[in-house]
Homo-oligomer: A and B are copies of this chain.
Amino acid sequence: MRYLSQVSLAEAVGCVRSTFPVPERNERLPLLRSVGRVTAVPVYAPYAVPPVHTASMDGIAVKSAETVGASDQRPVLLLHAVRVNTGNAVPGGYDAVILIEDVWTDGKEYRIRKPAGPMQHIRPAGEDIRAGGMALPAGHRIRPFDIGALATYGITEVRVRSVRAALIPTGSELISPGTPPKPGQVVESNTVMTAAFLEERGVDCVRYPITPDEPDLIRAAIEKAVGECDLVIVSAGSSAGTRDYTAAVIDELGEVLVHGIAIKPGKPAIIGSIAEKPVLGLPGYPLSAQTILRSVIAPLLDEWGFRGREEVRLPVVLARTLTSDIGFDEFVLHTVGRIGDRYVATPQSRGAGVQMASVRANAVVLVPAQTEGFDAGETVEVSLTADMASVEATLLLTGSHDPALDECANLAMARGIRAVSSNVGNRGGILAIRRDICHAAPLHLPGGGGDVGGTVAAALRGLPLAVVTVAGMPIGLVSREGAGDRNGLRFINRQRGSEMRAFIDTYLAGKDGEPAGMNVVEQEAQSHLAIAAAVRDGAADTGITSLAAASSCGLAFEQVGTERYVLVIREEHLDEPRVAALVQTVMSEEFTAALNRIGCYDTAATGTIVHVPAEKNDRMEKRS
């Protein structure tokens, strides 16, 4: 037993592939339910197809020997002839069909002027398959069109290989999906996700009840699972903490082959063997669990013939520098979109608990163990997690996120585009435009004017831009209800260098340079929501943020200004059909209606476009 002595991913995969023989289990399935499954035994045709010689044209069946010598000069009167249509059986002793238009007949006698070759216009008996012929060998993965052949051959059920997987969720903090978690509770979703992943490959999954972190209960669950199933997956308890009993229990019942794999996320995984069956420990964090499913459990299932969708790989340009620890194979989720003729990959959050990262991602970048990372602009090959059509439909929106963007993305789907936002703040958005690694940068710009703000304009000088207004947003002072007057209130500011900080500083300066009766706290917040959350949670008593953020945290709001939420787009991309569809979405009445339903947005300027030429930051044109 190697306890947290990490092995490499390659070693772990080699271990699962070579250790566990294909389970003997198989089952009979109705034909239509067998698609994607692998035959356990060969399938033989019980009869020949076609069962007899069959006419492949309309005409008369003849004995070819009687037609020898027929010509225009010497027509032959046939001794034997039978009228047949396409698909009719050719009677015994007949071995050719002559097209009806090549026959002279009075309805009783048939004359021909050309000899018929043997088997002419006949589908011979057994042309498709002979009686007893092998239609499928054992080990064949059944495709939809194979189903047609089997149905034709009279097969209505197929015996296929089968695997039953036990999924055991462990953890005293877990609750079943569907109940809102109380503080400290966690919804048990790992076995749900695992079931979805395995069932797509034709594995039958049995989800066991949630087992608390008690060694006796975990032991009982694993023993039962090993008795009932071919593969046991224990979710969590796989680290080396005081409440992590999975490895100890496996070691007691069988053998721990691997504890700890040098991958990120997903390091605390376990490969164990009990009664020659694989017992695998999945890390608790969802994205760590995903890595183990994709990188360790999938190769085992491939080996067993339970394959998933074909992996599609694509060379992409990295939007951002990717650093990684030497010694770990690290998998980083990215969203890939095509900008011009390059595929650009934008990283998603690397937090092991941020499942929206995998929802937004359509690709995984592997930083191999011997590599420290990749530089922005490098080309690497990614493995796609969505189909190519979805990648082609993807627009990268990189900048400052806002719920308005979700509504826009939702409506844009109906126009065939998939707008995926990457929340890196205004600064990140401006940089992405400058480096041409996004389709549009959503930015929060304080002030009500129609042009881009001063700092943004300065940062992007030299680039012809289009600025599309998404919405106006009231911003103001927030406070908890009943938080008293302003004397002694703790004020939380935005981070230095941000457009909102400049706005707030100007606002405070207008109030004589110091917030009247307010103390500015040292902590600075990175976003509207962070300001509102800090006030809600009591880390501060007031701050300046958006009405939307204030509402979402149940705070009192006193408007002091307006902010515009805009999409900044390089002018050169504006006519690209997908970018044009995004802009049309923002201009659409449905989008305005959606924003008005949410409230908190001023939609008066929604959909207006300002074109900013390369050397000028003034408004040039306005249309809506």
- Please list the residues of chain A having a beta carbon within 8 angstroms of any beta carbon in chain B: 31-32, 35-36, 42, 46-47, 49-53, 63-65, 68, 87-89, 92-93, 95, 118, 123-141, 143-149, 151-156, 173, 177-184, 186-190, 192-193, 195-197, 199-200, 286, 289-290, 302, 307, 309-310, 312, 351, 353-356, 358-359, 385-390, 403, 406-407, 409-410, 412-414, 418, 521-523, 529-530, 533-534, 537-539, 552
Given contacts A152-B187, A353-B50, contact A144 B196 (CB under 8 A): yes
Given contacts A51-B181, A134-B406, A523-B118, contact A144 B353 (CB under 8 A): no
Lowest 5 CB-CB distances: which A-B pairs, in order? A148-B193, A139-B413, A89-B183, A151-B189, A149-B355
Given contacts A89-B184, A290-B148, contact A154 B134 (CB under 8 A): no
- Could you list 17 further interchain pairs (A-B, Cβ under 8 angstroms) beyond the known A65-B522, A145-B196, A148-B189? A47-B181, A51-B180, A52-B183, A65-B521, A93-B539, A124-B533, A129-B356, A134-B406, A137-B409, A145-B193, A146-B359, A147-B196, A148-B358, A149-B286, A151-B177, A156-B177, A312-B312
Q: Point out the residues of chain B lying under 8 angstroms from A192, CB to CB.
A: 31-32, 147-148, 151
CA distance A125 to B190 in the complex (A): 20
Question: A170: shortest Cβ distance to chain B, in Å?
Answer: 14
Query: This chain: how many copies in the complex?
Result: 2
Question: Which of A129, A192, A385, A414 is the most central at the interface, judged by chain B CB atoms within 10 Å of its CB?
Answer: A192
B184 touches A47 (CB 8 A): no
Q: Point out the residues of chain B lying under 8 angstroms from A32, CB to CB.
A: 192, 195-196, 199
A387 interface neighbour in B184, B289, B307, Cβ under 8 Å: B307
A189 touches B152 (CB 8 A): yes
Question: A260: shortest Cβ distance to chain B, in Å?
Answer: 18
CA distance A539 to B122 in the complex (A): 14
CA distance A407 to B197 in the complex (A): 34
Question: Which of A140, A153, A539 is the most central at the interface, judged by chain B CB atoms within 10 Å of its CB?
Answer: A539
B406 touches A137 (CB 8 A): yes
13 sampled A-B residue pairs with Cβ under 8 A: A31-B192, A51-B182, A93-B539, A130-B552, A138-B413, A138-B414, A148-B189, A148-B286, A151-B192, A152-B355, A156-B178, A310-B312, A310-B388
A358 touches B154 (CB 8 A): no
Given contacts A145-B358, A290-B148, contact A88 B389 (CB under 8 A): no
Q: Point out the residues of chain B lying under 8 angstroms from A522, CB to CB.
A: 65, 68
B351 touches A123 (CB 8 A): yes
CA distance A177 to B141 in the complex (A): 21
